[in-house]
Amino acid sequence: MPAHVATYALVGIESRRVDVEVDLRAGLPSFTIVGLGDRAVREARERVRAAIVNSGFTFPAKRVTVNLAPAYLHKSGPAYDLPIACAILAAAGELPAERLARLAVYGELALGGEVRPSRGVLAVAEGVREQGLDGVVVAPERVREAALVDGVAAHGAATLRDVVTLLRGEAPAGAAVPPPEEIGPDPHAHAGLDLADVRGNAAVLEALTVAAAGGHNLLMTGPPGTGKTMLARRLPTILPPLGRAEALEVTRIHSITGLRGSGELAVERPFRAPHHSVSPSGLVGGGDVPRPGEVTLAHHGVLFLDELSEFQRASLESLRQPLEDGRIAIVRGQRTAIFPTRFQLVAATNPCPCGQAGTGSCRCTEADHARHRRRLSGPLLDRIDLHVSVDRPSAEQLAGPPLRSSAVERERVVAARERQARRLAGTGVPSNAHLDAALVRRHVRLDATAEGHLWRHYDRGALSARGQLRVLRLARTLADLAGADAVGAGHVLQALALRQDDGAAAVGA
Amino acid sequence: MTACPACLRRAWLLGLLAPNLELAWRGRRPLKDILALEDGALVAALAGRRRSAVEAAYEAFSARQARAACAAAAVTPVCRHDGRYPARLRTGPGAPAVLYVAGDPRRLSRLVGGDVDDGPPAAAVVGTRRASPEALQVATALGRGLAAAGVTVVSGMALGVDSAAHQGALDAGGPTLAVLACGPERAYPARKLALHRRLVAEQLVVSELPPGAPPWRWSFPARNRIIAALGRVTLVVEAAERSGSLITADFAADLGRDVAAVPGRAWSPRTRGSNALLGQGAAVVLDVEDALDAVLGLDRPDVPGVAAARLPDGLARVLDAVAAGAEVPAPGADGAQVGAALVALAELEGLGLVRRAPGGRYVATAPGWRPLASTPRPAGDGPRGPGGDHLGCCS
């Protein structure tokens, strides 16, 4: 009768139940693994055999057949080592089958029998809870991570022998991991970054708060060395703190991609700043076995694209679906993965090739400007509501006092988000930045004065039709920040001054 | 008073013969001479094989039908026997028989009524359709400055310089008047629909062609002769070597009206036409003051600039700061100040006094092209000579 052990395969950023079945049969000794495994899975034979023998057990001198079910699912990685070893020992009668049936096992084996940590334990633990199993056995380094999921007993096992001891009931090994403490504001969050570090650039600071309050994407233009990166890095410090569900999701994604192995729950919103040489699949995800890209790593956080005009066009175009839908489907051969991508975009660029546009000392020709604009244009700019220019602070500003602090701004942002949440309850729309035309019509009612300002810009060609929608969304956020129910003319005017409008290229006439 | 049947018939005949006129015009027969012909001679000269049909239709013309068509298009025909017909347009036999007016016809005498020297001052502002950004700014600023000083800005609502001049005048609250090469109720070019709508509602759009008439190639130079006749001075902003604006300037010179031009780059083909005018003795226009000098004369009373006349203090201060190249909002501003500065910037942009440069930064539109003083000059300051301190706006 074959032995069964439950484990999990990682598909995208989810986990799928995999049953490891082992059959021992009389005949010439052999060891075969079937079930669509990759090289790492096939090589498990050598690790498992060595680990079993080096842990003081006997490797069965029989025909050993290992099946990883379901057979259609591609399996990759070394985390099947431990479940395969356990199933063989169970088939050989070394382990009690009934206890094993209530647990999942997940981990890589060293030749000496030590259990090595594997990626994606949080996703595995969530699968364990969904399947109604009692707990999961993982490497000791991953126990805290597994314990983040309520109702799952996380067992740490340093060696294969520890696993056997645990299952035989000889020692209550490491079952008593305390539930994780409630997450709260972490004084060490964001590595000490604060808006108070910024000097000058009062308008940009305002734009950052507006971006955080409404979830609007932001474009900053300015000459090199004016602190665009510094400003962008401080956006996460004023975003509302991660909720528990969001934090679990961020931790799960980062665990699967190997970014995070501490076992702690993420408390900071992620900040990702890929270099402009990034490929489309690096940005949105891809590969034969689809892996999440930067947009998914920035889920619930900030994606910062510095030197926007230097990115490959294909990379920027690929951002359209993630920005529109909040998720991306990666299709490769017969494998499809869907990754969540609710990030906030901050882009920075030079205003023109020489960086001095609008200052009078610009050396670029009209054609240079046009080429630069073309590089930026397209579906990306369509999703960016805010646009500010960043200036180099003067010497006296550098010596002056800070203008704003992250703590104060975050309070304003949280208050504005609460107003939005009340208004948008039941619509599934997370923030003002995602209001569509119908919702804008419902929630942004303008009086005659405000309407007049909008049409004046429109008639003059300074505002495009799409730009108008973006302005209205911004005005809604500005009103929320001011604690106002109605959007007034002042909010519309401020929104106009902060607008990003690529559609209105023809100015002057 | 309504237009008389003979004049209505003349205008209708032009519409009927428009395709023949097109052929004649392409055959390089001088438009002035053709338009000066009597009705009978016109038919004889142009109709060709259609002659008998045209003559039959001419006999059957119904003034009542023509008036009904005008009423349906909300257009008022003002014929040369009408008291509202601008005296300055009576330039000879080639003058339009009827002026079709879209908008309130009572405005006609306020905008361009009377004789060219004694009536309300008007200036034609014309230039290329494919204008450079600078030319657009200059045209807008000229339109604004002239209108603010009470000078009617007459132009053709074409793309580029023409509409920029109208837009500038509208920013200043008028006066301005557009002369079209098709029926006045048609927004041509279609891209200027919004501008046409505003001009009809607040100012005036006129044409010598009846409602429904499409634009013909000959009707553009024909329109230009009306523009030239209505203005005391014709200002050419940017014109290439072969440009309709030069035709307007020619008509103006023929009528004995002054011609002025904004100088362009020496070697640029885009401004070769306007520079050539300067070479032939046109007045040089370097700023709005020069334009006002050309229209109103050097002994004109001092007129308050548009900004000083209309801008509240707060906005004027922000505009000064932008024009001086300062960062707005100030880099050290607190939250409330930032909000106020952003509001001011957007209001100034709505007025067309600032615009967003490609990098997102606000810049003043054509600084130096605004007769702007932060404090209004006292009235009766006496006449100003050329080379006044109008550039003091940036100090």
Q: Return d(Cα B261, Cα B127) in angstroms, integer.
A: 10
Q: Return d(Cα A417, Cα A481) in angstroms, integer.
A: 9
**B194 vs A359, A369, A459: nearest CB:** A459
Å from A490 to nearest chain B CA? 6
Contact between chains at B338 and A203 (C-beta distance less than 8 A): yes
Across the range B115-138, mean pLDDT stands at 89
Q: Which residues of A touch B125 (CB under 8 A)?
A: none
Partner A contacted by B172 (CB < 8 A): no
Task: Check whether B385 has a pLDDT greater than 50.
Answer: no
Q: Return d(Cα B8, Cα B6) in angstroms, integer.
A: 5
Give tens-digit pLDDT for B139-152.
988 998 898 888 99
Core vs surface per residue A115-142: b (16+ CB within 10 A) or e: bbbbbbbbbbbbbbeeeebebbbbbbbb
- Tokens linked to B361: 């930064």
Q: Return d(Cα A309, Cα A7) in angstroms, integer.
A: 46
Partner A contacted by B358 (CB < 8 A): yes
Residue A187 CB-density burial (10 A; 0-12 exposed, 13-18 middle, 19+ buried): exposed
Partner A contacted by B343 (CB < 8 A): yes
Q: Which residues of A touch B140 (CB under 8 A)?
A: 508-509
Can you give the pLDDT at residue B389?
A: 34
**B331 vs A351, A397, A508: nearest CB:** A397
We find that the CATH architecture of domain A435-509 is Orthogonal Bundle (1.10)
Give tens-digit pLDDT for B304-337.
444 444 677 788 888 888 877 788 888 888 888 8
Q: What is the DSSP letter of B235?
A: E
**A507 vs B342, B343, B355: nearest CB:** B355
Q: What is the DSSP letter of A226?
A: S
Q: Which residues pair with A54 in a beta bridge?
A: none
Q: Which residues of B touch A392 (CB under 8 A)?
A: none
Q: What DSSP string describes A428-475?
A: T--SGGG--HHHHHHH----HHHHHHHHHHHHTTSS-HHHHHHHHHHH
Q: Which residue carries 């257009």 as its tokens?
A: B75
Amino acid at A121: V
Q: Which residue carries 């079910």 as its tokens?
A: A69
Contact between chains at A497 and B349 (C-beta distance less than 8 A): yes
Count other C-beta atoms under 10 Å from residue A402's C-beta: 12
Helix (H) or strand (E) holding A221: strand A218-221
Strand pairing category for B362-364 and B354-356: antiparallel
**B329 vs A202, A387, A460: nearest CB:** A202
ipTM score assigned to the predicted complex: 0.81
Amino acid at A141: E
Partner A contacted by B338 (CB < 8 A): yes
Residue A282 CB-density burial (10 A; 0-12 exposed, 13-18 middle, 19+ buried): middle
Q: Return d(Cα A216, Cα A214) in angstroms, integer.
A: 5
Task: Count how many residues are written for chain A.
Answer: 509
Count other C-beta atoms under 10 Å from residue A313's C-beta: 12
CA distances from A310 to A354, A423, B357 (A): 14, 39, 21
Identical fold at A3-168 and A193-407?
Answer: no
Query: What is the average pLDDT score of chain B?
Result: 85
Partner A contacted by B337 (CB < 8 A): yes
Q: Which residues of A touch B163 (CB under 8 A)?
A: 509
CATH topology of domain B74-296: Rossmann fold (3.40.50)
* Nearest alpha-carbon partner for B59 in B46, B40, B42, B45: B40
Mutate to test the interface with A, among B195, B322, B327, B365 (most CBs of A within 10 A): B327
A172-176, B92-96, B175-179: which has the minimum mean pLDDT?
Answer: A172-176
Contact between chains at A372 and B327 (C-beta distance less than 8 A): no
- Tokens linked to A153: 């007993």
Q: Which residues of B touch A199 (CB under 8 A)?
A: 331
Q: Which residues of A touch B358 (CB under 8 A)?
A: 351-352, 357-358, 369, 372-373
Å from A347 to nearest chain B CA? 13
Task: Check whether B111 has a pLDDT greater than 50.
Answer: yes
Can you give the pLDDT at residue A350?
A: 86
Q: What is the DSSP letter of B283?
A: E
Contact between chains at A358 and B361 (C-beta distance less than 8 A): yes
Contact between chains at A369 and B358 (C-beta distance less than 8 A): yes
- Sheet strands (E) in B195-248: 204-207, 233-236
Can you give the pLDDT at residue B229?
A: 95
Contact between chains at B352 and A460 (C-beta distance less than 8 A): yes
Partner A contacted by B143 (CB < 8 A): no
Can you give the pLDDT at residue B314?
A: 82
Domain spans of chain A? 3-168, 193-407, 435-509
Q: Return d(Cα A417, Cα A434) in angstroms, integer.
A: 13
Cβ atoms of B154 and B124 within 8 Å: the answer is: yes
Å from A258 to nearest chain B CA? 39
Please count the helices (runs of H) and the strands (runs of E) in chain B.
Answer: 17, 11
- Sheet strands (E) in chain B: 75-79, 98-102, 122-126, 152-155, 176-179, 204-207, 233-236, 258-261, 283-284, 354-356, 362-364
CATH topology of domain A193-407: Rossmann fold (3.40.50)
Cβ atoms of A75 and A18 within 8 Å: the answer is: yes
* Nearest alpha-carbon partner for A497 in B148, B339, B4: B339
Q: Which residues of B touch A360 (CB under 8 A)?
A: 325
Q: Return d(Cα A460, Cα A494) in angstroms, integer.
A: 18
Contact between chains at B329 and A403 (C-beta distance less than 8 A): no
Q: Which residues pair with B283 in a beta bridge?
A: B260
Q: For A374, name the nearest residue in chain B, comparing CA atoms only.
A: B358
Q: Which residues of B touch A202 (CB under 8 A)?
A: 329-334, 337-338
Can you give the pLDDT at residue B248?
A: 94
Can you give the pLDDT at residue B64?
A: 92
Partner A contacted by B336 (CB < 8 A): no
CA distances from A198 to A458, A497, B211, B331 (A): 35, 22, 63, 11
Low-confidence ranges of chain A (pLDDT < 70): 171-191, 261-262, 357-362, 366, 377, 503-509
A and B: number of Cβ contacts within 8 A = 126
Partner A contacted by B349 (CB < 8 A): yes
Q: Return d(Cα B231, Cα B252) in angstroms, integer.
A: 8
Contact between chains at A507 and B356 (C-beta distance less than 8 A): yes
First CA to last CA distance, chain A:
85
Cβ atoms of A82 and A108 within 8 Å: the answer is: yes
Q: For A509, name the nearest residue in chain B, comparing CA atoms only.
A: B164
Q: Return d(Cα A443, Cα A438) in angstroms, integer.
A: 9
Cβ atoms of A200 and A397 within 8 Å: the answer is: yes
Domain A3-168 has CATH 2.40.30.170: no
Q: For A457, name the nearest residue in chain B, comparing CA atoms only.
A: B350
Q: Which residues of B touch A400 (CB under 8 A)?
A: 332
Strand, coil or helix: A192: helix
Å from A506 to nearest chain B CA? 9
Can you give the pLDDT at residue A466?
A: 84
